[in-house]
Amino acid sequence: GQWVGMGRELLEREPVFAEAIGECERALSRHVDWSLSEVLRGEGEKAELTEVDVVQPAIFAMQVGLAALWRSWGVEPKAVVGHSMGEVAAAYVAGALTLEEAAAVVALRSQLVRRASGRGAMAVVELSAEEARSRLSGYEGRVEVGAVNGPRLVVLSGDKAALEEVFGRLTEEGVFCRWVKVDYASHSPHMEGLRADLLRALEPVQGGRAKLPFYSTVTGERTDEVLGASYWERNLRQPVRFWDAIQRLHADGFSA
C-alpha cells in the first residue's frame, strides 16, 4: 500500500533511486499535471494520495525506483510477476515496455479508472475462488471475483450496494472480510465501459516481448505475448490470477 511521503527517505539517501524517479517524472510529465517528486516527498496538494490517478503512477514510480536500486546492489531478477497494475512496472523491468510506454499505460489507465470512481467497491475475503463464486449466486453481473491471491484469499469487486450485502452475509457467517480502501471496482463489469477509450488511449503503446521470464497475472502463466494495448485492457477488466502465476513460478523452479 501507499502512504504519505513514502519516497522521501529514499530520495534523500539513495542517488540511484532518485535518478530513477527523475526519469519516471520526465516520462509521466506528458500525461499528468502534478509533480511526482513532490508527491513522493509528501509535499504539495496531491500529497495525501487520495486520487487513483495519483496513487497508481506514484506506486509505479516507487516500484521502478526500487528495482533500479536493487539492481545497483547486484540483485538481478530471474523472473518477474506483478499484481494488477503492478504488472506495468514488472513489464518495464522485464524489458517488455519502454519507460515512456509504461508511464503512459499507468497514467492513462488510472485517469480512466477515476471516471468509474464513486460507484464501486472491492473487498478482501478469506475464501477459495470456488467458495467465493458459489456465494455470489444471484449477484451475477453485479459482484465478481476480481482477484485470486492465494488458495483461500480472493478479492470481490463490483457494485457497492451489492457488495455491501455480500460482505454483511459473509461476516455473519464468520468469514474474514476487509474492505479495500477504494471507491471503484477494477476487474469487474464496471471496467467494460472504459474499454474503447482505454484501447484508443493506449494505441501508441506497441510493447514487446519480455527479455526476462514474465509470469502474467492475466493468464496465470508465463507469457511471451507482445504487451500492447489489448493486453493492458485485459489487465484492467479480467480477474487477477496471481495465485495461478505464483504456482507456475514455483513449478518452473523459481523462489523468492
Give the CA-trace dihedral at 35, 56, 78, 148, to 10 degrees.
170
Q: How far is CA 29 from CA 33, 108, 237, in A?
A: 7, 12, 26
Residues 210-232 have pLDDT tens digits of 999 999 999 999 999 999 999 99
Residues 51-65 have pLDDT tens digits of 999 999 999 999 999
As a whole number, the mean pLDDT across the chain is 96
Residues 181-195 have pLDDT tens digits of 999 999 999 999 999
Residue 133 lies in a domain: yes
The Cα–Cα gap between 127 and 18 comes to: 41
Residue 2 lies in a domain: no
The predicted pLDDT at position 168 comes to 98
**Exposed, middle or buried: residue 76 (CB in 10 Å: 0-12, 13-18, 19+)?**
exposed
Residues 42 and 157 reside in one and the same domain: no
Residue 256 lies in a domain: no
The Cα–Cα gap between 17 and 115 comes to: 32
Q: Domain span at residue 143?
A: 120-183
The Cα–Cα gap between 136 and 249 comes to: 30
Residues 175-184 have pLDDT tens digits of 999 999 999 9
Residues 66 and 91 reside in one and the same domain: yes
Residues 16 and 41 reside in one and the same domain: yes
Write out the three cell numbers for 103. 508511464
The predicted pLDDT at position 118 comes to 93
pLDDT at residue 256 above 80?
Answer: no
Residues 215 and 110 reside in one and the same domain: yes
What are the residues whose beta carbons fall under 8 Å from the beta carbon of 96, sequence distance 6 or more?
207, 208, 209, 210, 211, 214, 226, 227
Residues 104-154 have pLDDT tens digits of 999 999 999 999 999 999 999 999 999 999 999 999 999 999 999 999 999
The predicted pLDDT at position 48 comes to 79
Residue 136 lies in a domain: yes
Residues 129 and 233 reside in one and the same domain: no
222 with 248: CB under 8 angstroms? yes
pLDDT at residue 74 above 90?
Answer: yes
Report the candidate in 104, 119, 100, 91 with the shortest Cα–Cα distance to residue 193.
119
End position of a domain, from candidates 148, 166, 183: 183
The predicted pLDDT at position 98 comes to 98
17 with 66: CB under 8 angstroms? yes
The predicted pLDDT at position 3 comes to 76
Rg for the chain, CA atoms, rounded: 18
Residues 36 and 93 reside in one and the same domain: yes
Residues 15 and 99 reside in one and the same domain: yes
Residue 80 lies in a domain: yes
Residues 128 and 111 reside in one and the same domain: no
The predicted pLDDT at position 29 comes to 97
52 with 120: CB under 8 angstroms? no
Tell me the CA end-to-end span of the chain in Å, nearest whole number: 20
The Cα–Cα gap between 111 and 103 comes to: 12
The predicted pLDDT at position 2 comes to 84
Residues 102 and 212 reside in one and the same domain: yes
Q: pTM of the entire structure?
A: 0.94
Residues 97 and 146 reside in one and the same domain: no
Write out the three cell numbers for 157. 469487486
Q: How many domains does the chain have?
A: 2
pLDDT at residue 47 above 90?
Answer: no
Residue 3 lies in a domain: no
Residues 32 and 104 reside in one and the same domain: yes
pLDDT at residue 49 above 90?
Answer: no
Residues 179 and 224 reside in one and the same domain: no
End position of a domain, from candidates 140, 159, 183: 183
pLDDT at residue 255 above 90?
Answer: no
The predicted pLDDT at position 131 comes to 98
End position of a domain, from candidates 131, 160, 183: 183
Report the candidate in 74, 79, 111 with the shortest Cα–Cα distance to residue 95.
79
CATH number at residue 149: 3.30.70.250
CATH number at residue 23: 3.40.366.10
Residue 1 lies in a domain: no
Write out the three cell numbers for 178. 476487509
The Cα–Cα gap between 94 and 208 comes to: 10
Residue 75 lies in a domain: yes
Residues facing 51 on adjacent strands? none
